[in-house]
Amino acid sequence: MDKVIVVASKNAGKIKEFKEMLEPKGFEVKSLADFPDIGEIDETGTTFSANAIIKAQAITDKYNIMAISDDSGLEIDAFDKQPGVQSARWLGHDTPYSYKNQVVLDRMKDETNRSCRYVCAIAVTRPGKEPVVFEETVECVIAKEPSGKNGFGYDPIVYYEPFGKTMAEMTNEEKNRISHRGKAVVRLETWMEHEGL
Ligand code: IMP
């Protein structure tokens, strides 16, 4: 494999999905775990795109290499689009998702507007070039109860109506085909081919 992509993340679930999508295309996917001296990157942006650029740019600036970063999260309309860019930190970074998901369900108990979406912004940064960002969404609803063991994070309560199942009930292939991240990766790949990368 000659093409290396650094995914500026330590999130094992996200890195696994990136590997599944990019390794078959001949990319070696590295993560922040391969760059321990970079330390924590503060996500100070208020949008997914801004945070994606901050993370990738930190790698490019330090190592003078191309990097990509995904910033993603869940917007729940009844919560005024929270947790949004706070999705990983919401109710505490280390709080188990079984608990976070139950809090969402409890707060949504009498809510009729259950619409939500996953958003994913993928930023590409390269030495001496402007960052490029691809942002995609997948429209879903909050389920009535958690279901499914696949995926990660909020997936057991995020119900995708066209398939009649939660994200956690999908196979990896199904999720990657319709997900916010899957769609953003397709745009990334198209752009990379166009750029000859
Ligand atoms: P980030 O690592 O700061 O981009 O945070 C992303 C967070 O958004 C994750 O830790 C999850 O809480 C949530 N999230 C993003 N994409 C997904 C997904 O595909 N499934 C479940 N949760 C997701």
**pLDDT tens-digit readout, 29-60:** 888 888 888 877 888 999 999 999 999 999 89
Query: What is the CATH number that goes with domain 3-195?
Result: 3.90.950.10
pTM, 2 dp: 0.92
Residue 2 is a catalytic residue: no
Domain positions in the chain are 3-195
CB of 11 closer than 6 A to ligand 1?
yes
Task: Supply the mean pLDDT for the chain.
Answer: 93
Name the one residue in this structure whose structure tokens are 């001949």.
26
User: Could you tell me how many residues make up the chain?
Assistant: 197
How does pLDDT run across 137-157, given as a tens digit for each residue? 999 999 999 999 999 999 999
Ligand 1 atom showing the smallest separation from residue 100 Cα: 12
pLDDT at 161: 98
How does pLDDT run across 160-184, given as a tens digit for each residue? 999 999 999 999 999 999 999 999 9
Max alpha carbon distance in the chain (Å)?
53
Among 54, 75, 152, which residue has the most ligand 1 atoms within 8 Å of its CB, making it the best to mutate? 152
| Residue 13, φ and ψ in degrees, nearest 5 | -65, -45
